[in-house]
Amino acid sequence: MKLAILGGGGFRVPLIHEALLTDERGPRVTVLTLYDVDRDRLATIGAVLAEQAHGRAGAPRVQLTTDLDEAVRGAAFVFSAIRAGGLTGRSIDERIALDEHVVGQETVGAGGIAFGLRTVPTVVELAQRIATLAPEAWVVNFTNPAGMVTEAMARHLGDRVIGVCDSPVGLGRRVAVALDLDPATVWLDYAGLNHLGWLRGVHAGGRDHLPRLLADPARLATFEEGRLFGAEWLAALGSIPNEYLHYFYFGREVIEAARALDQPRGAFLLAQQQRFYDEAHTAASFLDAWHQARAEREVTYMAESRSAAGAGERDSCDVEAGGYEQVALELMAAIAGDRPATLILNVANRGALRILDDDAVVEVPCLVDGNGAHPVVVSPLPDHAAGLVCSVKAAERATIEAALTGSRLAALRAFAVHPLVDSVAVARRLLDAYADRLPLAHLRA
């Protein structure tokens, strides 16, 4: 079975490769094709994978290519993991937003809209090419902003594109451990959009264990979301939010913390990863150099939020436990092997959340089998959560409209209606600054 990864020179590709090496569920991936437009990065990641596979039986044959058609043709699965504008773009996204005193994280608020404006045209072209060359392929989308991008690609791929994120599964794992439950045996009542969801129930043994967790500040303090949000606010919500909701609930504190840092995370990653790609070929081991760079990257994840909340460093188990690559392989195994599984995924709504139309991509539990991912109808969101979901979905859709039609007015609307941008005047300045610094020339009046 052939798996193609678009963005194959990306830093996190070895995580997927390692998961493939240890996966025993089958059917096995026998050919792994990495596609990227950057030959040097592609060669570096190829060298990391070669070391990683050394001496390990059953390793897939790795192919490197800068030809998109060659990569896609014959693939049973295509993983989309591109970054339009690279980390330079992300760094600019964050800095422009912070200069206007608004959240600039790459998937949330102004930064996410800017990222979407330049990413959506590219991923739609990819979706069209996949639909032509590999119409039976399943596309697993990692490209951020994941919900928005999955919805844009679905216009050409329908239900054969499925978005993956590791935030919900990570939250579920941490909560289960805090409750002394086996993460593999719990049912998570989780719903929302990508990076905008809430865990409303943890079911095992015929009952919901979340209320006893919310009533126990000591247990809440044992995991990241409990420390980020605090026991009082979690009790007020009656749920546990995805970690990215910290940008919404504690926006002023996060902005202050981010502006106090020496550099935004995007700028840090740009320098750190450029150093890895520049120096890996002179290191004694490509793989060791990658592991060292990855460890440095992971411990700084959401540093501004943890700083604002006084949450301390990330737990080592969260750094080491694996994330989106494991979700992707579980998804791939369920479809390719027609072995039913339950996963939290980004898929077309199809009535799962009644506040949104059927085509809106949402993040909810899904039953997955050989026919794809089928969203489970979940209980209604409370009003405060429903309001956020509808506002953010409106901003996502205005971003898609602007990216595909070139409408500057749609782009302005995307910034202005987002709940993390509090002024039309600020929205206008953000749009002007992004258009001046980034490749958004497709926008017109």
- The share of the chain scoring above pLDDT 70, in percent, equals 93
Is the alpha carbon torsion for 69, 70, 76, 79 positive or negative?
negative
Does residue 316 surpass a pLDDT of 70? no
pLDDT, residue 299, reads: 65
Q: Region 93-108: what's the mean pLDDT?
A: 92
pLDDT, residue 297, reads: 80
Neighbours of 40 (CB within 10 A): 12
Q: Region 277-298: what's the mean pLDDT?
A: 88
Does residue 93 surpass a pLDDT of 70? yes
* Residues 26-45 pLDDT 10s: 789 999 999 999 999 999 99
CA distances from 89 to 94, 119, 216, 256 (A): 9, 11, 42, 22
Of 321, 147, 109, 102, the C-alpha closest to 224 is: 321
Does residue 74 surpass a pLDDT of 90? yes
Q: In CATH, which superfamily holds the domain spanning 2-85+104-163?
A: NAD(P)-binding Rossmann-like Domain (3.40.50.720)
pLDDT interval class at 305 (50, 70, 90): low
pLDDT, residue 146, reads: 96
* Residues 237-246 pLDDT 10s: 999 999 999 9
* Residues 344-355 pLDDT 10s: 999 999 999 999
- Token pair, residue 117, equals 């404006």
- The share of the chain scoring above pLDDT 90, in percent, equals 79
Of the listed ranges 127-141, 212-226, 316-330, 412-426, the least confidently predicted one is 316-330
pLDDT, residue 320, reads: 46
Domain map of the chain by residue range? 2-85+104-163, 168-249, 253-308
Q: Note the pTM of the prediction, 2 decimals.
A: 0.92
Does residue 311 surpass a pLDDT of 70? no
Of 114, 122, 100, 149, the C-alpha closest to 415 is: 114
Q: Region 290-302: what's the mean pLDDT?
A: 79
CA atoms within 13 A on the CB side of 151: 28
DSSP strand pairing (240-241 vs 361-369): unpaired
pLDDT, residue 440, reads: 67
pLDDT, residue 281, reads: 84
pLDDT interval class at 433 (50, 70, 90): very high
- Token pair, residue 271, equals 């320098």
* Average pLDDT value over all residues in the chain: 92
DSSP letter for each residue of 335-363 = HHTT--EEEEEEEE-TTSSTTS-TTSEEE
- Token pair, residue 287, equals 């793989």
Does residue 300 surpass a pLDDT of 70? no
* Residues 356-380 pLDDT 10s: 999 999 999 999 999 999 999 998 9
Q: Which residues contact 109 (CB under 8 A, 6 or more apart)?
A: 97, 102, 103, 247, 418, 420, 421
